[in-house]
């Protein structure tokens, strides 16, 4: 029988834990290609992290933090663009690696919204 400490060590998968670091070296199914075709933005919970999976208008996939760094808006409501995913609140544009590519000083109001309100490797070394 496992001790409480051994059980904690073997079952915790958050970043910085032994099993969490091990699991981040493997591929994990998070969505089918059909899901992404139907809705190009999807909230994903993987290994204790809340993330947003998206497909930009060029067909490239991105997996980024769930919340915008500016106002913590949920990016599952983001707007896919050619270069990445745009935050629906202030319009910050994130690329596929979660880098901010463009910022706007005024609230972003899209003129038209679309009808949307694979495997991923979650490892910094990749």
Number of structural domains (the chain) is 1
At 21, give phi and psi (nearest 5°). Answer: -65, -35
Does 101 fall in a domain? yes
Does 35 fall in a domain? yes
Does 8 fall in a domain? no
Give residue 116's pLDDT. Answer: 38
Give tens-digit pLDDT for 32-48.
989 999 999 999 999 98
Does 90 fall in a domain? yes
| Whole-model pTM over 0.85 | no
The percentage of the chain sitting over the pLDDT mark of 70, rounded to a whole number, equals 83
- The enclosing H or E element of 20 equals helix 18-23
Does 10 fall in a domain? no
Does 103 fall in a domain? yes
Q: What is the CATH number of the domain that holds 48?
A: 2.102.10.10
Range of the domain at 100: 28-109+116-121
């Amino acid at each position: 029988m496992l001790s409480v400490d051994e059980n904690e060590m073997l079952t915790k998968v958050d970043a910085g834990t032994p099993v969490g670091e091990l699991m981040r070296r493997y591929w994990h199914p998070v969505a089918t290609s059909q899901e992404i075709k139907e809705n190009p933005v999807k909230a994903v919970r993987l290994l204790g992290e809340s993330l947003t999976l998206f497909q930009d208008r060029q067909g490239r996939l991105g997996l980024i933090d769930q919340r915008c760094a500016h106002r913590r808006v949920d990016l599952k409501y983001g707007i896919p663009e050619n270069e990445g995913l745009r935050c629906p609140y202030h319009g910050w544009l994130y690329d596929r690696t979660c880098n901010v590519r463009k910022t706007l000083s005024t609230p972003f109001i899209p003129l038209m919204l679309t009808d949307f309100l694979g495997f991923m490797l979650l490892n910094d070394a990749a």
